[in-house]
């Protein structure tokens, strides 16, 4: 999870300047056409951890001015939207849009046709600072900091659009009040227990706003919808996302017992100096892998399988002091599926951020089956192993282990060693 370096600098974006600690007050436009049905204001497993940090300072990052710009936009959208979570119709609209998406995300520009009244309200609030959803979308860009000039694709400006990401979409209670976060992250330099926490707002029964901080653990426990403002990839960048777990891992292991090679494990990992996808000296890097197997199907297109629950898993949290060190972190890469010519395993490693919508990690294609691999990341460039557009040529070459005990799959960012287990 990226954390922001504290600074006393003034944040200036699009001619708008924030000075000191004065916070803006944005009110919802009154309109008789907007319904205001009852909402269940119960908070389900939400620890009431008061925010004691200055959100305006948390938005700053002198090492990445584009990140400052994006933080500013997320904050402004949050201010312009927050009163709407007191409106049941708005809440159901956002939840419905996210459920129709492939990435648990409601694209705010789509409100123009899905719910024009809410689009108008948000834009009228943004207009107080000479902004609009359209104007923000045009400037929602980020220049990669870890690109490689030898690979021009890694130097391209990343483009995003404003959205609301709902991490607990599949477990929420539609009737409960949502909590809304501008996705500004806490400074955990003095308290490691709040690493990966985000500033969050909700309203009590009296209509008063409360500002708290919450983390991933809360997001997986609560049934209150968690609306997180995010810069998301554009819809046309999404392809088919594998959503079913078709293989039986236990049976696969049992079938492998009589084989010379039982399975393949990753044993060592390394993030190289200068390519840690974190800012702030106190933050761990959540080093993760996403992987899918596509099996040849004689009767049709290839069959896809998850290898890990949900398609991805965390390998380790890597401390700042461990950067550029070869770390032993043994974990399953893949069972030994044979014949190798009929089984392809496609994968990528990445820096995970629980509070961010899916970004691209590659589009593997085999035997007529195309999949889209994604990971919850702040930026498109937060991968470690493969340039996403190249994953199709980087399926694990299991046949090579006939004469190799281990192979290092290395990029300029990181190392990932796979070993055969006999």
Residue 45's contacts (CB-CB under 8 Å, 6 or more residues apart) are: 218, 221, 222, 223
Q: Are residues 189 and 280 in contact, defined by beta-carbon separation less than 8 angstroms?
A: yes
Pair (280, 327) in one structural domain: yes
Distance CA 358, CA 375 (A): 5
Pair (221, 323) in one structural domain: no
Q: pTM of this prediction?
A: 0.88
Residue 331's contacts (CB-CB under 8 Å, 6 or more residues apart) are: 265, 266, 313, 315
> Of 186, 203, 237, at which residue does a domain stop?
237
- Tally Cβ neighbours within 10 Å of residue 326: 12
Q: Are residues 72 and 58 in contact, defined by beta-carbon separation less than 8 angstroms?
A: no
Pair (149, 185) in one structural domain: yes
Pair (118, 212) in one structural domain: yes
User: Is 386 domain-assigned?
Assistant: yes
Pair (31, 179) in one structural domain: yes
In tens digits, what is the pLDDT along the chain, a chain of 422 residues? 443 333 333 333 333 333 333 344 444 444 444 445 689 999 999 999 999 999 999 999 998 999 999 999 999 999 999 999 999 999 999 999 999 998 999 999 999 999 999 999 999 999 999 999 999 999 999 999 988 999 999 999 999 999 999 999 999 999 999 999 999 999 998 999 999 999 999 999 888 999 999 999 999 999 999 999 999 998 766 655 544 444 433 334 444 545 689 999 999 999 999 887 665 557 789 999 999 999 999 999 999 998 998 899 999 999 989 999 999 999 999 999 999 999 999 999 999 999 999 999 999 999 999 999 999 999 999 999 999 999 999 999 999 998 999 999 999 999 999 999 99
- The pLDDT value recorded for residue 244 is 44
Pairing of strands 369-370, 365-366: antiparallel
- The pLDDT value recorded for residue 342 is 95
Pair (228, 257) in one structural domain: no
The packing angle between helices 65-81 and 116-126, to 10°, is: 120
Distance CA 270, CA 419 (A): 15
Query: How many domains, in total, are found in the chain?
Result: 2
Pair (63, 112) in one structural domain: yes
- CA proximity to 182, closest of 167, 194, 164, 196: 164
Q: Are residues 276 and 285 in contact, defined by beta-carbon separation less than 8 angstroms?
A: yes
Distance CA 333, CA 268 (A): 12
Pair (271, 367) in one structural domain: yes
Pair (209, 276) in one structural domain: no
Q: DSSP secondary-structure letter at 245?
A: -
Q: Give, in order, the Cα–Cα distances in Å from 353 to each of 198, 256, 286, 287.
A: 11, 35, 8, 10
Pair (156, 263) in one structural domain: no
User: Is 202 domain-assigned?
Assistant: yes
Place of tokens 């940090």: 53
């Amino acid at each position: 999870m990226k954390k922001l370096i504290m600074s006393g600098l003034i944040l200036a974006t699009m001619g708008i300047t924030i000075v000191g600690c004065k916070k803006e007050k944005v009110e919802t436009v009154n309109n008789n056409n907007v319904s205001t049905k009852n909402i269940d204001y119960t908070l389900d497993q939400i620890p009431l951890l008061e925010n004691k940090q200055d959100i305006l300072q948390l938005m700053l990052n002198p090492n990445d001015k584009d990140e400052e710009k994006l933080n500013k936009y997320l904050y402004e959208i949050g201010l312009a939207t927050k009163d709407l979570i007191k409106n049941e119709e708005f809440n159901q609209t956002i939840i419905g849009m996210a459920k129709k998406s492939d990435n648990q995300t409601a694209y705010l520009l789509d409100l123009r046709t899905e719910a024009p009244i809410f689009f108008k309200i948000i834009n009228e609030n943004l207009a107080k600072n000479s902004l609009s959803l359209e104007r923000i979308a045009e400037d929602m860009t980020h220049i990669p900091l870890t690109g490689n000039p030898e690979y021009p694709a890694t130097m391209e400006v990343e483009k995003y659009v404003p959205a609301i990401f709902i991490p607990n979409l599949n477990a929420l209670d539609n009737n409960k009040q949502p909590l809304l976060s501008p996705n500004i992250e806490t400074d955990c330099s003095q308290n490691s227990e709040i690493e990966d926490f985000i500033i969050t707002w909700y309203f009590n029964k009296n209509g008063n706003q409360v500002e708290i901080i919450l983390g991933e653990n809360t997001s997986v426990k609560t049934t209150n919808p968690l609306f997180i403002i995010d810069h998301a990839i554009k819809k046309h960048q999404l392809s088919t996302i594998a959503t079913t777990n078709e293989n039986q891992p236990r049976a696969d292991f049992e079938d492998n017992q009589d084989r010379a090679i039982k399975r393949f494990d990753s044993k060592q990992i390394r993030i190289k100096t200068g390519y840690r996808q974190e800012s702030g000296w106190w933050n761990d890097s959540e080093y993760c892998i996403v992987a899918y197997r596509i099996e040849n199907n004689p009767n049709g297109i290839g069959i896809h399988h998850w290898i890990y629950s949900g398609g991805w898993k965390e390998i380790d949290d890597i401390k700042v002091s461990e950067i550029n060190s070869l770390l032993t972190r043994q974990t399953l890469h893949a069972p030994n599926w044979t014949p190798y010519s009929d089984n392809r395993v496609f994968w990528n490693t990445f820096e995970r951020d629980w509070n961010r919508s899916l970004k691209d990690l590659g589009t593997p294609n085999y035997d007529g089956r195309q999949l889209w691999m994604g990971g919850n990341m702040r930026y498109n460039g937060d991968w470690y192993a493969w340039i996403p557009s190249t994953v199709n040529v980087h399926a694990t070459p299991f046949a090579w282990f006939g004469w190799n005990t281990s192979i290092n799959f290395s990029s300029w960012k990181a190392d990932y060693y796979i070993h055969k287990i006999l």
